[in-house]
Amino acid sequence: MDNYIKIEFPSLSCNEAFARAAAGAFAARLDITVEELADIKTAVSEAVTNAIVHGYAGSCGMIEMRCGVVGRTIEITVSDFGRGIEDIALAMQPLYSGSDDEERSGMGFTVMQSFMDSLSVESELGVGTTVTMTKRAGADFDEK
């Protein structure tokens, strides 16, 4: 790991904006396109929202976010220590929402998958969930 940050914050909705801004600021030091930066911020927003809405579901707990960089690849992990996901494959299906709120779109994992190069989810019931995502900065430059 060339450099990394680790941030802990309570599962308050107002911290979603803080978390994505922090991840964006960390990533912005690399050669990265505006679109890639927006992708990272969006994916972080989804992961943190999942931790708040599903991991802690109304109760409050801590969320840990790590952003690291190796070469030009950014790795972000978002961990909660909440309920855990019973069926990860089901939770990751587009339009599936584990929330009772009928206006949750169920697109969180789909957005993370589409906007990042890789996504992995580890979860244990009653222990918590960790989402790990990577994205290579400047991939858009490579193609040109």
Residue 29 a catalytic site member? no
Residue 46 a catalytic site member? yes
Residue 3 a catalytic site member? no
3-state percent breakdown (helix, strand, coil) of the chain, nearest 5:
35, 30, 35
The backbone torsions φ and ψ at residue 106, rounded to the nearest 5 degrees and listed phi first, read 75, 20
Site for other proteins in 37-76 (CB under 8 A): 38-39, 41-42, 45-46, 49, 52-53
In one-letter notation, the amino acid at residue 107 is M
Residue for token pair 């996504």: 119
Site for other proteins in 92-121 (CB under 8 A): 101-108, 110-111, 114-115
Distance CA 140, CA 143 (A): 6
**Which segment (11-19, 83-91, 117-125, 132-140) binds other proteins by CB under 8 A?**
11-19
Whichever of 93 and 114 has its CB closer to other proteins, that residue is 114
Residues labelled as active-site residues: 46, 50, 104
